[in-house]
Structure 1
């Protein structure tokens, strides 16, 4: 009986702190990142997944700072972990938003801007073309093991930016906000082939309406624009993988630079 394991209060507190800080960073990432934050994924599953990932990473993580868990310093450390996790998840959210913007541009050009559907991941109304592109890039993300790559980057973040009072400088957080310009430009680049093709169709209908004024251009043009838009979507679908992989690589590289102080 004397050989039974005994744990002191200090050992329990150190183990709790060692698990708590990674859990807060990983949990905050899962709140903001696409796929992980999908409304179809129950909250209990997300919490258990965050605890499991934190428990797996616990043996290889740097030693956490020894602070009283009920103190102002512990509150600041927890706040920084949540901030880092939200920033990483928000960065991945911007990658997926590129294709929502592209879908909105294409939908407006082909006359389907009024047709909206509920995005099951974010719970908001988006054009059906955006929903189609979002489903496509989500499948591409999972097929490329992007979720595993992102979790690997999360594990690396504890080496690049260990748990403590350190946090990303304000300039780097501003750079994260300015990355939104890259999001809009990339979205327009993805939509450019389809929008250009639809513009040529519009020009052709404009010429036809001038040549034959008696032609009801609205009755003929609307179904033709929709058929042309879907045909162009079929043509640009094979390029989605290249666009998505390039944007994802740029985003992951930016996150690594964000974590380096």
Structure 2
């Protein structure tokens, strides 16, 4: 009984880090996933973490324990936000494509967040989630959080990062998100731009042609054909995106732990 009471504070802190991660991380934060499953998965993984990564220092339930709980909530949310932000690059890429195809005025409701998102962006995001499940990306996310327990243990009370390091990391994260979004959208956006140029030349050479009645169907048809043709490139770029997610999560943990 005494050993269980000694391990319980450490177990609760690990559980809080994982459940906080589930609140915002891709796949795990979807509304279609029952909360009972999230809590059960967190408890199961916390039990494994406690048995394989014992606490280096004993943790007691005192006044500082509340601050440790708040710290673990922040760490879990930060890791989940890092993974979600980079994956949202797929939606940003879809927004670029929608704007060029003429779908920018039409949005759909994202069942995960309840917000309005672009049509092509939502389609690409669902394909990215499906590809992540196919390549066991959800396992890599859980492994990233488990690895954070080694680099930044829950019994560590203080953060070792400087404000400049954290701000530089966040700025670089946003730059990487838009860079990846441009890489995903550039083949289709560039081809549709050439279609616009061709339609402009056609409007000048054949003034009698109603270019507005012809241009929109042509751009939509061309956009869908290019989406089909560039699908292998999209999945190829997703591999680098998932690697970037894991690297960013590890970098964030190193910044917070000062290692």
Fold shared by both chains (TM-score > 0.5) = yes
**Distance change >3 Å, CA 31–CA 67, structure 1 → 2:** same
1:217 to 204, 211, 234: 211
Give the equivalent residue in structure 2 for 1:175.
168
| Structure (1 or 2) with the larger CA radius of gyration | 1
Distance in 1 of aligned mates of 2:198 and 2:43: 59
Q: Root-mean-square deviation (CA), in Å?
A: 1.5
Q: Shift of the alpha carbon at 1:176?
A: 3.7
Mapping for residues 55-94 of structure 1, pairs under 5 Å: 55-63=47-55, 65-71=57-63, 73-94=64-85
**Distance change >3 Å, CA 168–CA 186, structure 1 → 2:** farther
Q: Shift of the alpha carbon at 1:124?
A: 1.2
1:45 to 37, 45, 58: 37
Give the equivalent residue in structure 2 for 1:150.
141
Give the equivalent residue in structure 2 for 1:3.
none
1:258 to 236, 252, 256: 252
2:9 and 2:60 in contact (8 A); partners too: no
Matched, 1:130 2:121: yes
Consecutive unaligned residues of structure 2, counting only runs of 5 or more, are none
Matched, 1:112 2:112: no
Distance in 2 of aligned mates of 1:166 and 1:148: 29
1:35 to 21, 27, 37: 27
How many residues align? The count is: 252
Deviations 1:237-256 (A, max 9, x none): 11122211112212211221
2:91 and 2:121 in contact (8 A); partners too: yes
Task: Determine helix, strand or coil for the equivalent of 2:146.
Answer: helix
**Distance change >3 Å, CA 168–CA 81, structure 1 → 2:** farther
Give the equivalent residue in structure 1 for 2:239.
245
**Distance change >3 Å, CA 168–CA 256, structure 1 → 2:** farther
Consecutive unaligned residues of structure 1, counting only runs of 5 or more, are 1-6
Q: Shift of the alpha carbon at 1:65?
A: 4.2
Deviations 1:111-167 (A, max 9, x none): 011221111222211111011101111111111111111111211111111112143
Q: Shift of the alpha carbon at 1:173?
A: 2.8
Q: Shift of the alpha carbon at 1:18?
A: 2.1
Matched, 1:103 2:103: no
1:34 and 1:121 in contact (8 A); partners too: no
Structure 1 length-normalised TM? 0.91
Task: Determine helix, strand or coil for the equivalent of 1:62.
Answer: coil
